[in-house]
Amino acid sequence: MAIFLSRKNKVIVQGITGRDGSFHTQQMVDYGTQVVGGVTPGKGGETVHGVPVFESVEDAVKSTYADTSVIFVPPKFSVDAIYEAVDAGIKLVVCITEGVPAIDMLKVYHYVQSHGARLIGPNCPGIISPGLSKVGIMPAQIHRKGKVGVVSRSGTLTYEVVFALTNKKIGQSTVIGIGGDPIIGTNFIDCIDAFNKDKMTDGIVLIGEIGGTDEEEAAKYIKKNVKKPVVAFIAGRTAPPGKRMGHAGAIISGGTGTAEDKIKALNAVGIPVADLPAQVADLMAEKLGTAKKKKKSAKKTKKSSK
């Protein structure tokens, strides 16, 4: 199984006629994603890689019954694009756009929530359920269908970790890049909760980075609610004190949000943290092996007690 995204999702691409929108539409179509339409005002009636273009999301949804949208429009239009998608009845919105103002995201976050929709991003690589569908910019060829869920604040680090998992023949159920901005639509706990409930996900990989307290909050949640194996990697442990690194959310302030804080919080609840991204696969293989042995032992004990 997978979370949030399956073969059934019908996808439209907002900004389909732009350079990035056009390129990644082709990549998604080639992967087997049901891309049923695109939206660019003033370009309605055209086609991009065989995908029909509509004037508005409302028109696209009425014609295609789309339930998912991926946004490739410039930052100054992206918030309106999210509102438009939600107003048209889209239930899963994936915003790839980088540079969306945090103050605008604060407003749109609550709007999306109140309408029962899910937003992934902004400033994210999207989501892929290997072998089923992908929405966004993740390189499909490095993924392998399997039973480990991956949730990450980083884009390129996600690819490195996934590549290591795949090389070790550890497949993924769903891989989600939640984005590195201070305000995002879907957080670690949202994804971990969904992976925990998914019967076909056996383990979870968490990829965090310096800044904020999301990883610490996730650690608390995992301790209380999650029985599945979890391993992690935290980026930025060598970041110079006071230096802002990469993502807008990677800001250390008031002595909190350091890599050390996050690693300590995760270790405290029994989650091993890899020193290098490539080591995540080894830690997960070890955790899954231990979980398998415990399962077999429990079955034997149950049989012998009968």
Cα(13)–Cα(49) distance, rounded to whole angstroms? 12
The pTM score is: 0.92
pLDDT, tens digit, 9 for 90 and up, residues 139-163: 999 999 999 999 999 888 999 999 9
Cα(81)–Cα(77) distance, rounded to whole angstroms? 6
- The total of structural domains in the chain comes to 2
Same structural domain for residues 67 and 209? no
Query: Which residues, in sequence order, are CB contacts of 160 under 8 Å at separation 6+?
Result: 277, 278
Same structural domain for residues 182 and 273? yes
User: Does the pLDDT of residue 249 top 60, yes or no?
Assistant: no
Beta bridge partners of 92: 68, 118
Q: By C-alpha distance, which of 247, 158, 184 is closest to 210?
A: 247
Same structural domain for residues 153 and 286? yes
94 lies in some domain: yes
Same structural domain for residues 143 and 116? no
Which CATH number does the domain housing residue 62 bear?
3.40.50.720
Mean pLDDT within 256-271: 92
User: Does the pLDDT of residue 306 top 80, yes or no?
Assistant: no
Q: How far is CA 227 from CA 62, 149, 204, 263, in A?
A: 42, 14, 10, 19
Site of tokens 């009845």: 89
Same structural domain for residues 288 and 143? yes
Q: What is the mean pLDDT of the chain?
A: 92
| Inter-residue contact 38 to 51 (CB < 8 Å) | yes
Cα(153)–Cα(208) distance, rounded to whole angstroms? 6
Neighbours of 253 (CB within 10 A): 9
DSSP string, 243-287: ---SSTT---BTTBS-HHHHHHHHHHTT--EESSTTHHHHHHHHH
Residue 27's Cβ-count burial label (10 Å; 0-12, 13-18, 19+) is: middle
Same structural domain for residues 161 and 214? yes
Same structural domain for residues 73 and 157? no
pLDDT, tens digit, 9 for 90 and up, residues 113-134: 999 999 999 999 999 999 999 9
- Active-site choice (49, 110, 143, 247): 247
pLDDT category of residue 251 using cuts at 50, 70 and 90: low
Query: What range defines the domain where residue 57 resides?
Result: 10-120
Same structural domain for residues 284 and 154? yes
More confident residue, 43 or 238: 43
Is 247 assigned a catalytic role? yes
Site of tokens 């650690």: 219
133 lies in some domain: no
User: Does the pLDDT of residue 268 top 60, yes or no?
Assistant: yes
pLDDT category of residue 292 using cuts at 50, 70 and 90: confident
